[in-house]
Homo-oligomer: A and B are copies of this chain.
Amino acid sequence: MSTEGPVLVVGAGLLGTSIALALRRRGVDVALRDVNPENLRIASGLGAANVEDGAVEPRLVVVAVPPDLLGEQVAAALRDTDAVVTDVGSVKSAPLGVVRALTPKHVGRYVGSHPMAGSERSGPFAASASLFDGRPWAVTPHDAASPEAVAQVIELARLCGATPVTFSPEEHDQAVARTSHLPHLLAAVAAGRLTDAPREHLALSGQGVRDVTRVAAGDPELWQQIVSANTDALTVLLLEVRDDVDALLGALADGDRSRLGVVLDRGVAGTAVIPAKHGGPSRAETTVFVAVPDHPGELARLLADIGEIGVNVEDLRIDHDPGREYGLVELSVASDHVDHLLASLDDRGWTAHR
């Protein structure tokens, strides 16, 4: 395996072009390939490549094509080069199986990976060198993977600004089934029930249903491919979901509150095990609501005041009032700063409450 030469990125979509841009930002030589000449032209125009594809033997090939094509494209790259090959698909076991079947003797040079960024947009126009900054990037070595190949893929994640996290392909697929694919399917199911509703009923939609269903707007063709590639892990979880739905139906039919409580309590426990965004221990936060006129500059004035008050904002949402000219801004701040913040905002003329 060569240790010099450029990185060849196959597929100049959102992820491929972003990886190329991130590598160019670090001075790494990059060649780009795509069956669509328009994608290639756009990505090259953004400065994503500096080496002609085919001019030099690559040291690393990054396959960034749709899930259905991953296995055969990885296998082709292994046959055509001596490079380490990785991919950036959302599912890892199925493409590995295809690669093993197609090129068993080269599979040691393949190590899959999965950057946790960017799935609801698409195309090279949406690409960015900073797409992966600070994001987790799963690296998924299989039993026969060479240590050098693993090291090169971990190095790729680091060069792109991400934080590499190592899993076996099976563990990865089980993890994303729970943390991404099942939530997506349940969001789609919840959103699907809204399509039958009389439109006037939807006037009662609040922030809750917006949050639960938001991801269901993602590209259904892409999600068909992702879900189909993670059948085993998702089937286990969907059977558990069916048990929960049956338990809820039974509890409603029997008026059995304790069975309702089991599902609701487990939901509370589930929200508590998601790691804090900072990655560190979860801090107690409190939500504060502030009324803000709905004009450019007003939100900035609020944030400037909060900056002067000296309180850090952990998260922020804007909830526009349906019938009014201002929005409600939800601020998450450390709970022990809330009283000080509310009093100080009141002094500065803002209408705020917790």
Contacts and interface: CB of A to CB of B under 8 A. Distances in A.
Interface of A: 116, 121, 125-131, 133-136, 138, 163, 165, 167, 171-172, 174-176, 178-180, 182-195, 197-206, 208-218, 220-221, 223-224, 227-228, 231, 234-235, 237-242, 244-246, 248-249, 252-253, 255, 257, 260-261, 263-275, 277-279, 287, 289, 291, 294-300, 303-308, 310-324, 326, 328, 351, 353-354
Nearest to A279: B322
Contacts of A312: 294-296
Contacts of A218: 268
Give the number of copies in the complex.
2
Nearest to A210: B274
Main secondary structure of the interface of A (DSSP, over half): helix
A174 B201 CA distance: 8
Given A183-B209, A212-B183, A245-B241, A134 B324 contact: yes
A213 to B, nearest CB: 5
A233 to B, nearest CB: 10
B255 A202 contact: no
Contact of A266 (B188, B209, B223, B238): B188
B271 A214 contact: yes
Identify the 8 closest CB pairs spanning chains A and B, nearest first. A188-B267, A134-B321, A191-B270, A128-B353, A297-B307, A279-B322, A300-B303, A175-B201
A184 B207 CA distance: 12
Contact of A116 (B183, B206, B351): B206
Given A273-B197, A322-B278, A353-B131, A206 B179 contact: yes
B265 A213 contact: no
A318 B332 CA distance: 10
Contact of A165 (B130, B204, B241): B204
B136 A264 contact: no
A275 B180 contact: no
Nearest to A332: B318
Contacts of A313: 296, 299, 318
Given A204-B175, A252-B227, A274 B241 contact: no
20 contacts: A116-B206, A133-B291, A171-B198, A174-B201, A175-B204, A180-B204, A183-B213, A188-B268, A190-B267, A193-B237, A194-B270, A194-B273, A195-B273, A211-B215, A216-B270, A220-B267, A224-B260, A296-B313, A314-B318, A317-B317
A306 to B, nearest CB: 7
A79 B314 CA distance: 49
Nearest to A324: B134
A203 B136 contact: yes
Given A245-B241, A317-B317, A354-B126, A266 B192 contact: yes
Given A133-B291, A294-B312, 10 more contacts: A130-B353, A133-B324, A136-B204, A175-B197, A179-B202, A182-B193, A186-B187, A217-B268, A228-B255, A315-B317
